[in-house]
Amino acid sequence: MAVMNVNPTRMQMTKLKKQLQIARRGHKMLKDKRDELMRQFIELVRQNKQLREKVEAQLENCNHHFINASAVMSKQAMESSLMSSKHQTGIDVGEKNIMSVDVPLFSQVHGSDDEGEIFPYGFAFTSFELDDAVSSLNSVLPDLIKLAEIEKSCELMAAEIERTRRRVNSLEHVMIPRYEETIKYIAMKLEENDRSSRTRLMKVKDMLLEKAHNYSEKY
């Protein structure tokens, strides 16, 4: 690991030591954040998988119903009965914060509780297979909305975990070792300077003594 390009001074070392301390604290906190995010993510993604399997099976079932319906009705009649929807499904969008990740909360806005309300057509000229198809699709709707909420949350959390993981790794494997090594380098440099000035002083003292008294301290 490369030593940073700094002046080997005591002041610089104190500064680096402080930075190292901050980096260590940040590393610990980010690691905790990553672990907690991961725990929640795994839980959510498991739930997501179950729900997706359920919804996909239900949608396939709906499709069968629609195929049945189209077998007994003409294409035009069916399309025109389905086109004119009476209501629009509204979604109340909220937000929830999971470990600093903003995830959406979707809740269906209920227009009316009347069960017949879901059918956009009169019953006179349509087959009951179509009623089955529409009501089955209507019953999947809450699950579909829930699936959208969970899947979006998973998507956002996966991205956040990836970012946090990168940060943790760069602190752990790059920043902190670099600080440590630079501090070690400065400490060694300072010691070396210390030793060299001490030997210089000893040498000067020898020379001065010899000059003044013709006296040598050499052993």
Q: Can you give the binding site for other proteins, defined by CB under 8 A?
A: 38, 41-42, 45-46, 48-49, 52-53, 55-56, 59-60, 62-63, 66, 78-79, 82-83, 85, 87-95, 102-104, 106, 109, 111, 118-120, 133-134, 137-138, 141, 144-145, 147-149, 151-152, 154-159, 161-162, 165
| Least distance between other proteins and beta carbon 186 (Å) | 36
| Least distance between other proteins and beta carbon 95 (Å) | 6
Looking at beta carbons only, is 119 or 179 nearer to other proteins?
119
Nearest to 41 by CA among 208, 136, 159, 215: 159
| Least distance between other proteins and beta carbon 29 (Å) | 19
Looking at beta carbons only, is 14 or 89 nearer to other proteins?
89
| Least distance between other proteins and beta carbon 16 (Å) | 31
